Amino acid sequence: MSMNFVASYKDTSGKTDVIVNVRNTGNLALQSYSATFKDSVTSEILTVSGNKFGNVAKVSVGNIGVITSPSFSASTIGHAMTATIKCCSDDGQTGKCFSVKINFESE
């Protein structure tokens, strides 16, 4: 069984929260995550972790879940951003885990 997912920028909510999609491309459900978001313009770095992807308790194979950053201290619109995301097969970032890093411009 393999843990795998693809992450992509989805949206900027309220100008200060960044939202990314995680699409499960492996064959184990995604049960938990940890994520680090960096605003390359301000150098502000925020982290978040959880056992729910938006309002979904787990992301089944082939499905998409969302991860939302904490609120940055200022608008991120137009800023170069980096998100490093680790998803795991069990709660609390345990079990089999896989990590990806994505770069994007917040819109």
pLDDT digits (tens, 9 = 90+) for 66-99: 999 999 999 999 999 999 999 999 999 999 999 9
SS3 of residue 2 by DSSP: coil
C-alpha distances (whole Å) from 52 to each of 31, 36, 67, 92 are: 7, 16, 9, 10
Q: How many domains does the chain have?
A: 1
Domain containing 19 equals 5-105
CATH of the domain at 25: 2.60.40.10
> Does pTM surpass 0.85?
yes
What's the CA angle centered on 62, arms 60 and 68, to 5 degrees?
70
Taking alpha carbons only, the member of 21, 32, 19, 22 closest to residue 89 is 32
